[in-house]
């Protein structure tokens, strides 16, 4: 009302001052509860609040100035990143999700990590087909339109590359949870249950396995037991409500809930049904785990229970000094839901149960928080997740005792962040 007139400045200033008094009272309550020792500043005429800013004075851009919306330019550092020395080329490489900048459990589409073995296939959907052949009554070829006429379902699932944290097997290496843990994303998929498509083709009674194949030039193939295919696998064409991004397999990808990312074939063009596994490159030379005794673990599909503190972390130091601080992180398990997350600030000597917040969904990321009063002393931050199947995230030494030091894949060991007195954070290992 008066805010639209020339007296606006004063009106706004007065009401903001009143608001500040209110929030100070709330701060007092928090202090009484033993939380903050430092908090919002007392109202003393800071220019950013007493002086009218440009954005408060001039008209802004109109609607559709961005036909497809993008984040604020002040968020330009929230991007996928890669590590140049890790791979020989960007076509067979990986980029990492900026976990340290995100919150909640859903990964925005443009920030989902990418893992391609032969670059991004650019597929025109009208020219795309999905074939089902092998041990079926009727081999079939589906168009995208055909797929979209089957009953649809929506599910939130995490996808983790088996190589996530692989560089950390022998010790702390990369400085930031984007790099150590960023080969994971979690979106809501819209798709058709694979069992409906297999049912349409009619699976023969001696069938035991399926082989999904990608339409990219890597022609990615993996053997998947028929039991899993008929259980919860999805043939998905949407992520977070919109079409899959080209990076994530547009126009259609396989979703294999809780299992290693390599099996989630992107640009899905064929599903062969067979009576035994095919022993493809991706399940013999790669995606196997060489143990200390020279034997290799094979078909290690389920992603084990795991967690990481996303903030504070090396890329997200504590900038506000001592007092009220939020420790935030993610936990997930290929076995189902997360039952509990414990957080330690002293390198695993003492543990406090963290607060799980937001939806707790089967085989999805879970968000946890621990609200602390930081006294400014050094911390060794760790998180330890426990899933509903009863699995407890191991220490890195426990993991190495079981699997040796040759492995790359399936590192779900406890991560340690060393928080220094100045709030900067480093990747370290507490053994």
Ligand X SMILES: Nc1nc2c(c(=O)[nH]1)N[C@H]1C(S)=C(S)[C@@H](COP(=O)(O)O)O[C@H]1N2
Query: What mask, x for binding Mo ion by CB under 5 A, covers residues 106 to 125?
Result: ---------x----------
Question: Which of 36, 99, 106, 112 is the binder for ligand X (CB under 6 A)?
Answer: 112
156 contacts which partner out of Mo ion, ligand X, none, CB within 5 to 8 A by kind? none
Window 212-241: residues binding ligand X (CB under 6 A): 214, 216, 218, 220
Nearest to 114 by CA among 309, 250, 4: 250
Segment interacting with ligand X (CB under 6 A) among 112-120, 196-204, 299-307, 410-418: 112-120
Would you call 42 exposed, middle or buried from its count of C-beta atoms within 10 A (0-12, 13-18, 19+)?
A: exposed
Binding mask 142-171 for ligand X (x = CB under 6 A): -----------------x-x----------
Q: Which residues pair with 368 in a beta bridge?
A: 329, 356
Which of Mo ion, ligand X, none sits in contact with 111, Cβ below 5 to 8 A by type?
none
Size of the site for Mo ion (CB under 5 A): 4
- Nearest approach in angstroms of CB 119 to ligand X is 8
User: Considering the rule CB under 5 A, would residue 262 count as an interface residue with Mo ion?
Assistant: yes
Choose the one of Mo ion, ligand X, none that binds residue 36, judging by a C-beta under 5 to 8 angstroms depending on kind. Answer: none
Stretch of residues binding Mo ion (CB under 5 A), selected from 19-27, 158-166, 199-207, 381-389: 158-166
Binding mask 258-277 for ligand X (x = CB under 6 A): ---xx-xxxx----------
Rounded Cα gap, residues 348 and 215, in angstroms: 46
Range in contact with Mo ion (rule: CB under 5 A) among 35-43, 261-269, 293-301, 359-367: 261-269
Cα–Cα distance for residue pair 183/99, rounded to 1 Å? 9
Report the nearest approach of ligand X to the CB of residue 274 (Å). Answer: 19
Spell out the residues 6+ positions from residue 165 whose beta carbon is closer than 8 angstroms to its own: 180, 181, 183, 306, 411, 412, 413, 415
Dihedral Cα 295, 296, 299, 303, nearest 10 deg? 120
**Residue 114: CB minimum distance to ligand X, A:** 4
Return the number of the residue (180 or 395) whose C-beta is nearest ligand X.
Answer: 180
Q: Tell me the pairing of strands 184-193 and 306-311.
A: unpaired
- Tell me, letter by letter, the H, E, C secondary structure of 269-316: EEEEEECCCCCCHHHCCCCCEECCCCCEECCCCECCCEEEEEECECCE
Kind plus residue range of the DSSP H or E element containing 237:
strand 234-239
């Amino acid at each position: 009302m008066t805010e639209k007139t020339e007296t606006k400045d004063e009106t706004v200033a007065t009401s903001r001052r009143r608001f500040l008094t209110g929030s100070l009272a709330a701060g007092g309550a928090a202090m009484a509860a033993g939380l903050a020792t430092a908090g919002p500043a007392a109202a003393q005429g800071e220019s950013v609040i007493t002086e009218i800013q440009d954005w408060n004075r001039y008209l802004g851009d109109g609607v559709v100035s961005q036909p497809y919306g993008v984040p604020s330019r002040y968020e330009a550092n929230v991007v996928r990143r890669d590590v140049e020395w890790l791979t020989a080329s960007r076509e067979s490489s990986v980029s990492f999700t900026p976990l340290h900048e995100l919150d909640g459990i859903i990964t925005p589409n443009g920030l989902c990590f990418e893992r391609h073995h032969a670059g991004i296939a650019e597929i025109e959907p009208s020219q795309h087909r999905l074939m089902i052949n092998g041990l079926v009554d009727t081999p079939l070829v589906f168009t995208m339109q055909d797929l979209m006429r089957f009953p649809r379902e929506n599910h939130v699932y995490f996808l983790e590359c088996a190589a996530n944290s692989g560089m950390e097997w022998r010790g702390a290496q990369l400085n930031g949870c984007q790099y150590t843990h960023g080969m994971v994303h979690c979106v809501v998929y819209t798709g058709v249950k694979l069992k409906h498509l297999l049912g349409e083709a009619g699976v023969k009674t001696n069938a035991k396995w399926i082989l999904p194949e990608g339409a990219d030039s890597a022609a990615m193939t993996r053997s998947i037991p028929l039991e899993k295919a008929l259980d919860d696998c999805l043939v998905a064409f949407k992520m977070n409500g919109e079409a899959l991004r080209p990076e994530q397999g547009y126009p259609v990808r396989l979703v294999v809930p809780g299992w290693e990312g390599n099996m989630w074939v992107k640009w899905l063009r064929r599903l062969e049904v067979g009576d035994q596994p095919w022993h493809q490159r991706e399940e013999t030379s790669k995606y196997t785990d060489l143990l200390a005794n020279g034997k290799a673990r094979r078909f290690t599909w389920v992603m084990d229970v795991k967690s990481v503190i996303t903030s504070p972390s090396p890329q997200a130091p504590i900038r506000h000094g001592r007092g009220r601080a939020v420790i935030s992180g993610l936990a997930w398990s290929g076995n189902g839901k997360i039952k509990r997350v414990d957080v330690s600030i002293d390198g695993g000597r003492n543990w406090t149960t963290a607060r799980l917040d937001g939806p707790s969904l089967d085989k999805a990321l879970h968000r946890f928080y621990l609200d602390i009063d930081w006294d400014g002393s050094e911390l060794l931050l760790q998180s330890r997740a426990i899933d509903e199947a009863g699995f407890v995230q191991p220490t890195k030494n426990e993991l190495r005792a079981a699997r040796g030091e040759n492995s790359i894949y399936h590192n779900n060991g406890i991560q340690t962040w060393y928080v220094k007195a100045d709030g900067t954070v480093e990747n370290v290992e507490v053994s």
